[in-house]
Structure 1
Amino acid sequence: MRPNFTPGPFQAALALIVALWSAPGLAQTRALPVEVAPVTVTALADSIEAVGSLRSGETVILRPEIAGRVSRILFEEGRPVAAGTPLVELDASTYAAQVAVARADLALAEAEAERARTLFAQRAGTARARDEAVARLATTKAALQLAEAQFAKTRILAPFGGILGLRAVSIGDVVQPGQTLVNLESIDPLKLDFAVPETMLARLAVGQAVDVAVDALPGERFAGTVYAIDPAIDEAGRAIRLRALVPNADGRLRPGLFARVRLDTARAGESVTVPEQALIARHGKTYVYKVIDGAAVETEVSLGRRLTGSVEVVAGLSPGDTVVVAGQQRLRDGVKIEVVAPDGTPAQRTGG
């Protein structure tokens, strides 16, 4: 059985106060103190956030093409070198001997070919003898070229300018074809590899600017430019891979660094922005209180990009409007307001 409840004097007085405050006439006669801020117009860039990795502009692991013993190491680890600089020499004695033998064979073959031609011209030799001598000459020329090519491979040169890494061999090591000697990295400019969702495809183009930050150098930003877009979309991640060039003349950036990338896809022009604290979320929609003729008018807005401390409004507000940024919890549509400073003292109203 539900007990009877009789309100006491205090409850009755409280109910009367609430009823009077809720009356339309009283609500319109009392101005509520609020803080306001003007709608601002900001030039924003349409951008995409992504992560990626820095890579060498060119990179190679130097390996010998022939077997041999390391006789000289002509570089210092971690130092820059120019293209064509000799880096490693292998013992060339065997290959030099092969070149000498091939040259001797060539000299003999040339003499025999010349003798065969003379005899054939004097009708003292056969065409077959002449042709065999000419063929032997061609064979010995090819053998000499092969010996010289093998001899040249005993000197390993830098294929491009860059910075050398850490060597993996010492003087006296006997190396085999394909064995690692040292890596060479070209780091100016660096390549930046990153990926964006496939839904961004229509917004991508070669030549777009990228802004790069790396955790190794906090607070610093580096500029780059997209120069290639992979034509194939990654089916596993539903992403599009892009590659940009990032100038690195001072060498502060290094290959392999993790990069946070902002890709500027287009200029959005001037955009209306308001402080985040002006927003009111209700029933899946977003509202602000716009100041019009000293009253707070509830206005639905559509939002764009989130910024630091503010947000873009794409519909609902115009430049020159003023919105409530503090005190809106007590407001209703059409309520009179009094603009105050953060310390509660009256302030001159700046809008509406």
Structure 2
Amino acid sequence: MSVRMGALALMAAVALSACGDGSARGKDKAEQQARIPVETVRVQTGPIAAAYRGTATLQAEDEATVTAKQSGVIERVLVEEGERVRAGQVLAKLETERLELELARAKATLDQLEQDFRRNELVYARKLIAREVYERAKYELDGARASFELARLALQEAEIKAPFDGVVSLRHVKVGNTIQAGSPAFRITRMDRLEAQIFVPERDIHKLAPGQPATLVVDAWPDKRFQGRILRVNPVVDAATGTVKVTVAMAPDQPELRPGMFGRVEIVYDRRANALLVPKDAVLTEDEQHSVFVVSEGRAHRRSIRVGYSDADHYEVLDGLKAGEELVVTGQTSLRDASEVEVVNALAPAPAVASGADARS
């Protein structure tokens, strides 16, 4: 009997021990499940640039719609869209038969009146005709000269010419078209002088000045940054929009750029070499107040911060953090102050900082 009792006691002890171990494991598992998985980065220092960013459509500094100066029928078109032309080059010609006849008639009239005037001049010198007759002949001669010059000008204007060096960006006419004086015939564009106009809020205009460097990114070449400089800042604020027009002149020898391209302009107005940086994904913003979750001893503590400049990926932290502190960058929307967390990523420094920026201080 005593042997059996001893065996039961031993079995009970083993069972209790097993129950105790199971309870402990369950508790540990529950605690582990209660921890919120997050990813973190460390606060780092690095350069950041403050810039103003705006969108703009590229425009040619020199662009002209070439119009016909005479009415008539288009006889020849000498250029096509995309061709480069020089100042004074003939782009198209009108039919000139009628104009040539008018010039010939004006020349004949002028020759006749010149002969008459020379004869009257000799007779008047001998005082054989009245002064009124002499002066009337002189006036008629002057009128004939003017008519001849007008006829010659009309014949010259039958040629439609380029006003400056450029590219034919649009052709309005075809051979056989009847065109009226003043109607558009071609559009000539200087491709090497392009501008971008952005409209800057009044509160930011003190940050910008002529000569400041600017960059442009266009959809056709999203990985390339084109260079330019502020050409001028309009001195007048638009009362309707509260903005000021800023014109950026693009640098020459950037053949990829075309008038009409839509782009994003960035004008850097300040740089800081050793700013305290945090990823934008780590920052929570409510009512213009910024905060982050700082991980310490397995818990995430919410902390308010004061930010300065920002770029596409980072905020500059002016107050509230120190370099090397660990921040939650993913999963913070599920956190409360002092929540237990489980870091699921291998901790690494924050990504490298890009040089471009759209910061506003």
TM-score in terms of structure 1 length: 0.73
- Residues 279, 98 of structure 1: CA spacing in aligned structure 2 closer, same or farther, 3 A cutoff? closer
Kindly, what percent of the aligned residue pairs are identical?
A: 27
CA 1:54–1:175 in structure 2 vs 1: closer, same or farther (change >3 Å)? same
Kept in 1: contact 2:226–2:254 (CA 8 A): no
- Does the alignment pair 1:171 with 2:175? yes
Give 1:204's aligned amino acid: L
Instruction: Count residues in correspondence.
Output: 308
How far residue 109 of structure 1 moved from its aligned partner, in angstroms, is 2.2
Name the SS of the counterpart of 2:58 in structure 1. strand
Match for residue 180 of structure 1 among 184, 190, 195: 184
Which is worse superposed, 194-203 or 232-241? 232-241
Report how far residue 123 of structure 1 moved: 2.1
Which of 257, 268, 271 is equivalent to 1:268?
Answer: 271
Q: Is the 8 A contact 2:170 2:188 kept in 1?
A: no
Please give the secondary structure, in 2, of the residue aligned with 1:142.
helix
RMSD: 3.9
Structure 2 CA distance for aligned equivalents of residues 69 and 216 of structure 1: 41
- 2:326 is aligned with 1:324: yes
1:289 and 1:323 in contact (8 A); partners too: no
Counterpart Cα distance in 2 of 1:308 and 1:174? 56
Q: Distance in 1 between matches of 2:106 and 2:313?
A: 79
| CA drift at 1:297 | 11
In 2, Cα distance between equivalents of 1:133 and 1:199: 72
The Cα shift of 1:341 comes to 11
Task: Give me the TM-score of the superposition, normalised by structure 2.
Answer: 0.72
The within-5 A match list for 1:3-42 is 37=42, 39-42=44-47
The aligned counterpart of 1:119 is: 123
Equivalent in the alignment of 1:61: 65
- Shift, 1:118, TM fit: 1.9
**Would the alpha carbon gap of residues 251 and 285 (structure 1) be closer, same or farther in structure 2, given more than 3 Å must change?**
closer
- Structure 2 CA distance for partners of 1:173 and 1:289, relative to 1, 3 Å: closer
> SS where residue 268 of structure 1 aligns?
strand
SS state of the match for residue 128, structure 1? Answer: helix
Task: Give the aligned partner of residue 105 of structure 2.
Answer: 101
Q: How does 1:190-201 map to 2 (within 5 A)?
A: 190-201=194-205
Contact 1:189 1:249 (C-alpha < 8 Å) held by counterparts: no
Describe the SS at the equivalent of 1:124.
coil
Q: What code does the residue aligned with 1:230 have?
A: N
The 5 A counterparts of 1:69-218 are: 69-218=73-222
Shift of 1:250: 5.0
CA distance in 2, matches of 1:282, 1:250: 43
Indicate how the Cα distance of structure 1 residues 69 and 307 shifts in structure 2: closer, same or farther if over 3 A, else same.
closer
Deviations 1:36-82 (A, max 9, x none): 7354141x333111111111232222221211111111112321112
- AA at the equivalent of 1:76: E
Residue of structure 1 in register with 2:19 after alignment: none
Q: Distance in 1 between matches of 2:257 and 2:92?
A: 28
Q: Which runs of 5 or more residues in structure 2 are unaligned?
A: 1-26, 28-38, 349-361
Task: Give the counterpart letter for 1:172 in structure 2.
Answer: G
What is the identity, as a one-letter code, of the residue corresponding to 2:251?
P
Greater displacement, 180-189 / 83-92? 180-189
Measured in 1, the distance between the counterparts of 2:236 and 2:289 equals 39
CA distance in 2, matches of 1:282, 1:151: 74
For residue 166 of structure 1, report the CA deviation from its aligned partner. 4.3
